[in-house]
Amino acid sequence: MKKLFFLIIGIYLVVGSILILTMKEKATVVNYFTIKQNYSRLMTENETLFVSLFIDSDESFITHTQNIASSSLKNEDSLIAVDILRIDKNDGDIVYSGRSYSLYNLEIDFTQIKVTDLFLGMKDCFLTINYVNDVSLELEIGDVWLDFREINPSNHFDYNNLYAVINDFEGSDYINALVFRFESLTNFPITIKNIRTLDSNYSFDLNSVYVSEEKIAPQTLLTEIIPDYEMFNEVDQGEFLLESEYYYVIPMVYREKSKIYRFPIIIDYSYNDSDYTLIIDDYLFFDEMIDLNEQSDKIREYQYHYQ
């Protein structure tokens, strides 16, 4: 009888301990953060967008798609419904402010948007996620510039080389110029009238183009070949005549300090007294490891408290 009594007491202790641990887990705080970034994309059919979320709990409902009821992108002026297809965890942990986080990639789908030739520009954009447990999270993700269209190649010219000149600014790498090697597909002259991207923070100075027969190294100090280059500047309209077999170094200028790694390129040009546009799909010009200390001013921290 005593053995049975102690066995029952032991079972109660074990069950009680499990309940206490469970209650403690439910009472814990989940810490998570995002990094404001520039999302500049040409959205062709079925293309998706990936957003990063750093979270210190792998057991939270936050990172399971089956718990999501709906989601949207919004800012003060716009709101569009989107779907989160997948949430995938990256290998390894990241330490920030003395706490270990896992990086999750949220894949955002835009199939609810049926319109083509649509431009969507959203500064200070939030990803809102509504869960089946009536919890809603608003994640600040940065600036979103999306152009929904199909790509049509030009019959007049193409390019056979495209890369960026990367220079250091205040201890960090930035794109200072793009380098094109064009290939004319016609005997008629072609004039490049404008080169732009979706985000008006970045412009290309066609008045200061450097032309070379030799390939320019990506690490070339831009002021060595374009002495008057200023990274932060306003650009006047310019143009240049396209010729094959040359490397064109086209300075990139910024209105405000903000990194960009990947973006589409829109080239406006004239041919035979008519105007045309060539669109180059978003291109990853350089990549680097995430430096959370460098990005501290763009980190947005959050907490979720279990009830």
- Interval 284-295 mean pLDDT: 82
- Tell me the whole-structure pTM to 2 decimals: 0.83
Tell me, what's the pLDDT at 19?
37
Question: Sign (positive/negative) of CA torsion 300, 301, 304, 305?
Answer: negative
The encoded tokens of residue 262 equal: 């990947």
pLDDT in tens, 154-201: 999 999 999 999 999 998 899 999 999 999 999 999 999 999 999 989
Tell me, what's the pLDDT at 134?
95
pLDDT in tens, 242-255: 999 899 999 999 99
Tell me, what's the pLDDT at 306?
87
Outline which parts of the chain fall under CATH 2.60.40. 29-150
Write the CB contacts of 266 (distance below 8 Å, at least 6 apart in sequence). Answer: 194, 195, 196, 197, 198, 277, 278, 279, 280
Helix (H) or strand (E) holding 148: strand 136-148
Kindly indicate whether the domain formed by 29-150 is annotated with CATH number 1.10.287: no
pLDDT in tens, 102-135: 999 999 999 887 677 789 999 999 999 999 999 9
Least Cα distance to 30 among 71, 59, 70, 66 occurs for: 59
If one counts every other C-beta atom within 10 angstroms of the C-beta of residue 208, the result is 20
